[in-house]
């Protein structure tokens, strides 16, 4: 049986986390063999939304030793991918800021924890949304490469952010090289300004500029595009050279001091990932 409780994956928590026990209908839905795709996860949400009030009414308890809540508890969880070659653990306040934005602007039931899993660990195949970032070399091991490809081809979504803000930097060159090895040299292409990513929740004319671009960090350019990899007409990899992770890396309680909330685009990224 597949298990949404992914064992001993590392988590970073905010207070007040509660998980419901797994309803019998969801246990039956999870009983099939093979990895859970994003499409499977979304189909389970339809069942879990209907069953969640019943589970709450009977005072269901947490699943022991299960850092990942079940679909009956949350619609979204943030999973950061560890990879062996580079500095994966960057922008450590960004996830809580993104989570706060989802709670503020959407009706999604959001897991308040950041979850961290190795890319080489097959448990990452069950995450509906993954984040991968860094400054340094991206050189996947065979297990990492195999899981990345399997995850994306089976319906997963990976948001990748280059913290260097440099299209000729080490992260950019090595990550794009990995994508060429896995999906082919032409797979990673620019998204058009009319892509539904920019209008699925808030409306944007294109990818918002970051302060690091405007201040000359990295290659001293404003990149007016994002890149992506489509799998059968579905965006499976979203790739940014704009350093959004650093742009959103501040205490979420300080957001009230901004003239414009720059995490609104993060909401679009998640909403698009969870609905396509």
Predicted confidence (pLDDT) per residue in 68-81, tens digit: 444 458 899 999 99
Same-domain check for residues 43 and 96 = no
Structural domain boundaries enclosing 26 = 19-73
Same-domain check for residues 215 and 199 = yes
Q: Sorting pLDDT into bands at 50, 70 and 90, what band is 212?
A: low
Q: Taking a C-beta distance cutoff of 8 angstroms, is the pair 188, 229 a contact?
A: yes
How many domains is the chain partitioned into structurally? 2
pLDDT mean across residues, the chain: 76
Strand order in the sheet with 234-240: 10-12, 110-118, 76-82, 130-134, 158-162, 234-240, 227-231, 188-190
Same-domain check for residues 130 and 234 = yes
Residue 204: pLDDT over 70:
yes
73, 92, 111 - which closes a domain: 73
pLDDT > 70 in the chain, percent: 67
**pLDDT number for residue 18:** 27
**pLDDT number for residue 256:** 65
**pLDDT number for residue 99:** 94
| Any domain includes 219 | yes
Looking up residue 184, the CATH number of its domain turns out to be 3.40.50.12140
**pLDDT number for residue 53:** 36
User: Mean of the pLDDT values across residues 5-27?
Assistant: 35
Same-domain check for residues 60 and 83 = no
Same-domain check for residues 232 and 108 = yes
Burial class of residue 14 in the structure, from the number of CB atoms within 10 Å of its CB (0-12 exposed, 13-18 middle, 19+ buried):
middle
Same-domain check for residues 78 and 66 = no
Residue 214: pLDDT over 90:
no
Same-domain check for residues 47 and 139 = no
User: Mean of the pLDDT values across residues 182-199?
Assistant: 96
Same-domain check for residues 145 and 200 = yes
Same-domain check for residues 27 and 108 = no
Structure tokens at 266: 């993060």
User: Mean of the pLDDT values across residues 136-144?
Assistant: 96
Residue 250: pLDDT over 50:
yes
User: Mean of the pLDDT values across residues 169-195?
Assistant: 95
Q: Is 264 helix (H, G, I), strand (E, B) or coil?
A: helix
**pLDDT number for residue 216:** 53
Structure tokens at 220: 């001293």
| Residue with more model confidence, 45 or 19 | 45
| Any domain includes 7 | no
58, 73, 88 - which closes a domain: 73
| Residue with more model confidence, 253 or 180 | 180
Same-domain check for residues 195 and 59 = no
49, 73, 97 - which closes a domain: 73
Q: How far apart are CA 196 and CA 154, in angstroms?
A: 21
Q: How far apart are CA 220 and CA 123, in angstroms?
A: 39
Residue 35: pLDDT over 60:
no
Same-domain check for residues 64 and 193 = no
| Residue with more model confidence, 28 or 212 | 212
| Any domain includes 3 | no
Q: Is 80 helix (H, G, I), strand (E, B) or coil?
A: strand
Q: Sorting pLDDT into bands at 50, 70 and 90, what band is 86?
A: confident
**pLDDT number for residue 126:** 93
Q: Taking a C-beta distance cutoff of 8 angstroms, is the pair 107, 59 a contact?
A: no
Residue 151: pLDDT over 90:
yes
Same-domain check for residues 161 and 236 = yes
Residue 271: pLDDT over 80:
yes
Burial class of residue 164 in the structure, from the number of CB atoms within 10 Å of its CB (0-12 exposed, 13-18 middle, 19+ buried):
buried
């Amino acid at each position: 049986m597949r298990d949404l409780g992914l064992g001993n994956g590392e988590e970073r928590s905010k207070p007040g986390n509660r998980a419901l026990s797994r309803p019998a209908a969801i246990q039956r839905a999870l009983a099939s063999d093979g990895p859970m795709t994003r499409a499977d996860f979304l189909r389970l949400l339809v069942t879990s939304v209907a069953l969640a009030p019943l589970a709450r009414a009977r005072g269901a308890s947490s699943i022991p030793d299960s850092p990942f809540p079940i679909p009956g508890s949350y619609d979204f969880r943030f999973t950061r991918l560890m990879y062996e070659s580079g500095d994966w653990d960057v922008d450590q306040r960004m996830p809580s800021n993104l989570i706060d934005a989802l709670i503020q602007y959407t009706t999604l039931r959001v897991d308040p924890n950041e979850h961290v899993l190795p890319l080489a660990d097959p448990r990452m195949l069950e995450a509906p949304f993954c984040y991968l970032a860094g400054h340094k070399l991206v050189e996947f091991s065979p297990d990492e490469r195999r899981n990345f490809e399997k995850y994306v081809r089976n319906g997963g979504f990976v948001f990748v952010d280059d913290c260097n803000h440099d299209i000729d930097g080490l992260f950019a060159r090595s990550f794009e090289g990995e994508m060429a090895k896995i999906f082919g040299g032409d797979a990673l292409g620019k998204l058009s300004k009319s892509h539904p990513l920019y209008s699925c929740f808030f409306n944007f004319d294109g990818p918002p500029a970051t302060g690091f671009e405007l201040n000359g960090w990295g290659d001293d350019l404003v990149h007016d595009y994002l890149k992506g990899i489509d799998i059968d007409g579905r965006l499976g990899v979203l790739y940014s050279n704009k350093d959004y992770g650093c742009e959103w890396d501040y205490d979420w309680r300080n957001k009230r001091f901004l003239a414009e909330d720059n995490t609104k685009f993060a909401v679009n990224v998640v909403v698009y990932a969870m609905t396509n």
